[in-house]
A and B are shown apart, each in its own frame.
Chain A
Amino acid sequence: MRAASVQRPASRLFRTSAALSAGQGTHIHRDSAGNSESTPWEWTPESLKKIDMYLARYPDTPQGKMSAIMPLLWVAQQQTDEAHATIKAKPSYDGAFAFDSPQGSGGWVPLAAMHAIADLLGCPRMAVYEVATFFTMYNRNQQGKFHIQLCATTPCMVCGAYDILASIEKHLGIKCGETTADGTFTLTEVECLGACVNAPMVQINDYFFEDLTPQSVVKLLDDLKAGNPVKIGPQNARVHSLGPLGRTSLKSPPKGPYCRDLSQIPAN
């Protein structure tokens, strides 16, 4: 028991954020059936094409090549995304579009892929591990078919992210960091995904679903599971990220003085 006479002028929070502890698990690799050093890994021809493209962007020195660790990890995640084709994404307004190929968020990087990257770039394996564990964007374990990344950073939190979270948890019967028994959904709490204007939001594989309510998110998950078409972007009537009054500013070209003469810049 703390003696009453001791004043504590401030107490500080050092809690590990949920994204790191619950969402990503430990930063140590544990061999599992589908993920060990001996698991085979082959790059697909498309991946190899992408790899060539990325490698061309960096200097051909040992140091320079190491810069390609990040894009290559992402290529691996694109390659392992098997759910993409099953998501029937409907753009919610004109000008929005659905991706025709996996972008990466729906996949994961097996240990063997990390090793393949290290071999390819001629760098220590540890260098790849360090990058892969640093960013929450890289999934180092097999995720459920649909990986729900729920943003709970301040703007989303203020707009009710935890209600969304509770609703998902109740509906799926899992907690942050867990995968449903049938392997369909994985739930992760993450930090700001940059759609704060349309908060609260979740990202599921490559798509953002914004302006959620505890009810609409349940319907969304059911639709995904059933393979029904789902609307991407704002789940309400919002267009882009316009406020309720529609477009209120920047309606005409900005008045001068300009820092450079825009008329001199060719169109496109």
Chain B
Amino acid sequence: MLAALQARAAATARPGRVSLQLLHKGARGVRSSDARASSAVQPAQPSQPAAVSAVVQLDEAGFAVLPKELPSMRGVDFKQELDPRYAETIEVIIDGHPVQVQKGSSLIQACEQVGIQVPRFCYHERLSVAGNCRMCLVEIEKAPKPVAACAMPAAPGMKVFTNSPIVKKAREGVMEFLLANHPLDCPICDQGGECDLQDQSLFFGSDRGRTTESRRGVEDKNLGPLVKTVMTRCIHCTRCVRFATEVAGVDELGTVGRGNAMEIGTYVERMLDSEISGNIVDLCPVGALTSKPYAFTARPWELRSVESIDVLDGYGSNIRVDTRGGEVMRILPRLNEDINEEWISDKTRFAYDGLKRQRLDTPLIRPDPEMPLQPATWKDALTLVAQKFKATPGARIGAFAGPLADVESMLALKDLCNAFDSEAIHCDVPAGPLADCRAAYTLGSTIAGVEEADAVLLLSTDLKREAPLLNARLRRRVYHDGVRVASVGPRVPLTYEYEHLGDSVSQLLELANGTHPFCKVLAGAQRPLVLVGTGAYERTDARGVAWAVQKLVTSVPALIQDGWLGFGTVQPTAAAVGALDLGLTPLASSAAAGVGASDGAIAEPLGLVYLLGYDSIDLDRLSPDAFVVYQGHHGDVGAETADVVLPGSAYTEKVGTYANMEGRAQRTARAVSPPGEARDDWKILRAISELAGKPLPYAGVDGIRERLAAVAPQLADGTESIHAVSPDIAKAMLAVRASDKFDFDTKTPFASCIDNFYMTDAISRASTTMASCTKAFAK
């Protein structure tokens, strides 16, 4: 938006924070519009940004004399790079400069391609064009009146003016109408400082209003615990409505009434029940829709932003963590076309208050099984754990990595246990029988590739909850291209139409045997896709299910072909793919798994249980004399059972590698420091190894990365690219004997692996926002 403009104006004033505030003071001064305006016309301070003109000249009527020409939108440099994908270009003349733009672009896109920002409110590249705010008016030679650049296709030879006097006047007119009903409540508005209307009124707003009427009042709507509404601020751009209907697939939001009485709302009181509703907060160009949990907690210019990634689900959304004074204030999406585009799910965005509650910030030791945990020093706690490692035979040591564990700490955990002859290192992944085949436990098609699929089969997954943004991509595919989606699993609303084939193993077997009618659809598709939810493997007959899935996948040739791997698992946790890449043993069934009940790998009851953020422990199956170490950041179930608690750091406090469901390794960044005495997770494990007398062969972060590169190079190269499995290998690994026989449980229906989207891990379980969402939305 005008951020570039603003940055430029800011650069001419003073660096950093100060100039930003000045700018907004400028903005307020320029458009204060009530009766007190006469006194508000003060000579501007000399330090005011250049764009607002140093000294305000007044005409006889007392109005500011504004420059006739708009400030140029940037130092005009029309040498642009063309996107090679769209080789065809046309020539248009923008502001007197002949430029090549891609054929089929609208004028607003054409201007963007050559670096000219046209102000806008309603236009958004990911939503349909509404053309209703009229802020993007430009002049076209020979056109009788200014035209909306967002809705006008660029035609060859078109002469466009983006900063002529007519354009300026038109935009000023639009701005005046927008402000006529917009409250002057910027000082108490959460959007203040990052508001498109505020920014643009700086350039197109008048220094006073001409209306004598009171502004219209609009009732605020209750959209639920996440989105706060102040509907008098709404400028009716309808971005929120378009997002809800086009991307999120909820039809509850709309425009009611007409003319001056038009409102955005739900007509009947309805909460916005969508896993990605928080994005309308980002989309709203004004402060009509703001974040409820963030309300009145910070101003944008006080925040320090760190670019990171999200680990609360397996999607790996790119995020920006905004902090102030060592505290995470909010989380926003960051653009990544291959993963989350510019959206994030509500859990990603709003669970951050869980980072501040129930934290483990000091080592704890339980002196006696009957006594509560007591604070201890790092030295005592680590020495105790080290002793246990030395004293327990390797076969009786078991380690369990939870859903939020980063690759580095899992590697250190594995190396530590291996050093003490233990092979029982487990992860919280029910990938079950397919844990050896990367093509099977990742999303072979890649996330963006889902939009190339032309027939989709879902197995045992509630995609809308397990991966809301993946579901939104699939929705787009269904809506734009009419792709057929079928599901064997829970009958849940997915925001698009799909064929529900059933929810029992019999349908899967029919599909695997090629007798089900949907097999024809898969066989006829160029790029079929089979997505399996991990719920399919959380069953007693997981081996049989895996066999049937493999049989199905290998029976459709187009599923695995050169350049297309149409088979994948929707991993619900951020640790899953990394853990399997490192060779951790998946638990047969995380829900049913007590410690010691995994895959039959452990014969003896465990004497030392090491829980790395692992909370799904089954207390009844833990042998009473087991010594339990819990390393993690939240006082969740795992910590309560522990004999020693070692405080680790959460994803906003450490640099950690995580592989998302498509196998893309990305790193989190340290936005704040861990609370109290908490430490980086892998360093804690390294320290134990030292004290136990078998130091791990790496000391610094470079060391562990080197080690990672040796064990799992695909996680360590730092390129954030996906290392695809070759089709031949995938085929070979997935091949099964058709004659194998399994006992199938035809009674238990296929279910999703999560039952409450809002609470899936220690952080979201500690979040009050997520708790209120659970109350409002969970079935």
Contacts and interface: CB of A to CB of B under 8 A. Distances in A.
Given A14-B216, A20-B257, A20-B259, A126 B38 contact: no
B55 interface: no
Given A15-B213, A133-B267, A3 B258 contact: no
Interface in B247-269: 251-263, 265-269
A23 B251 CA distance: 28
B281 to A, nearest CB: 20
Interface in B194-225: 208, 210-213, 216, 219
B260 A27 contact: no
A16 B39 contact: no
Given A28-B267, A129-B267, A133-B267, A14 B39 contact: no
A8 interface: yes
Nearest to A123: B251
Q: How large is the interface on B (under 10, 10 to 19, 20 to 34, 35 or more residues)?
A: 20 to 34
A163 interface: no
B777 to A, nearest CB: 19
Interface in A98-135: 111, 124-127, 129-130, 133-134
Contacts of A247: none
Contacts of A2: 35, 38
A226 interface: no
B252 A126 contact: yes
Nearest to B62: A6
Contacts of B211: 11-12, 14
Residue from A2, A9, A37, A127 having most chain B Cβ neighbours under 10 A: A2
A130 B61 contact: no
A3 B208 CA distance: 13
B626 interface: no
A120 to B, nearest CB: 16
A168 B212 CA distance: 31
Interface string B457-497: 00000000000000000000000000000000000000000
A5 interface: yes
B268 A27 contact: no
Interface in B224-259: 245, 251-259
Contacts of A130: 254-256
A111 B268 contact: yes
A127 B254 contact: yes
A15 B212 CA distance: 10
A136 to B, nearest CB: 9
B39 A28 contact: no
Contact of A133 (B180, B210, B257, B260): B257
Contacts of A127: 251, 254
B267 to A, nearest CB: 4
Contacts of A20: 257-261
B213 A13 contact: yes
Given A14-B180, A17-B260, A134-B258, A8 B210 contact: yes
A241 interface: no
Given A6-B38, A29-B267, A129-B267, A11 B210 contact: yes
Given A14-B213, A14-B260, A133-B267, A9 B254 contact: no
B561 interface: no
Interface in A120-176: 124-127, 129-130, 133-134
Contacts of A29: 267-269
A7 interface: yes
A21 B262 CA distance: 11
Contacts of A124: 245, 251, 254
Nearest to A133: B256
A27 B37 contact: no
A236 interface: no
B760 interface: no
A12 B180 contact: yes
A10 B210 CA distance: 7
Contact of A28 (B35, B212, B213, B219): B219
B256 A27 contact: yes
Given A12-B180, A12-B211, A28-B267, A129 B256 contact: yes
SS class, residues of chain B in contact with chain A: loop
A1 interface: yes
A26 interface: yes
A200 B208 CA distance: 41
Interface in A1-59: 1-3, 5-17, 20-21, 26-29, 37
A130 B208 CA distance: 35
Contacts of B262: 27
B181 interface: yes
Given A14-B180, A21-B261, A28 B256 contact: yes
A13 B262 CA distance: 17
Given A12-B210, A13-B213, A126 B267 contact: yes
Nearest to B215: A14
B258 A133 contact: yes
B257 A126 contact: no
A129 B254 contact: yes
Contacts of B208: 6
A28 B265 contact: yes
Contacts of B39: 3
A27 B266 CA distance: 10
Contacts of A16: 216, 260-261
Nearest to A29: B268
A199 B145 CA distance: 37
A27 B210 contact: no
Nearest to A4: B38
Nearest to A37: B268
Contacts of A27: 256-257, 261-263, 265, 267
A215 B255 CA distance: 42
A26 B258 contact: no
B181 A14 contact: yes
A20 B269 CA distance: 21
Contacts of A111: 268
A224 B245 CA distance: 47
A247 to B, nearest CB: 39
Nearest to B258: A134
Nearest to B219: A28
A113 B446 CA distance: 46
A126 B254 contact: yes
A17 B267 CA distance: 21
Interface string B251-292: 111111111111101111100000000000000000000000
A27 B256 CA distance: 6
A9 B61 CA distance: 9
B261 A126 contact: no
Contacts of B269: 29
Given A7-B61, A9-B61, A126 B251 contact: yes
Contacts of B263: 27-28
B296 to A, nearest CB: 26
Nearest to A20: B261
B253 A126 contact: yes
Contacts of B257: 20, 27, 133-134
A6 B63 CA distance: 9
A248 B252 CA distance: 56
A145 to B, nearest CB: 26
A14 B245 CA distance: 31
Contacts of B261: 16, 20-21, 27
A70 B251 CA distance: 19
Contact of A1 (B35, B181, B210): B35
9 contacts: A3-B35, A11-B211, A12-B213, A17-B259, A20-B257, A20-B261, A124-B245, A127-B251, A129-B267
- 4 closest A-B pairs by CB: A124-B251, A27-B257, A126-B254, A129-B267
Given A6-B62, A8-B212, A29-B267, 18 more contacts: A6-B208, A11-B212, A12-B212, A14-B216, A26-B219, A27-B256, A27-B261, A27-B267, A28-B265, A29-B268, A125-B268, A126-B251, A126-B267, A129-B256, A130-B256, A133-B258, A133-B267, A134-B257
Interface of B: 35, 37-39, 61-62, 180-181, 208, 210-213, 216, 219, 245, 251-263, 265-269
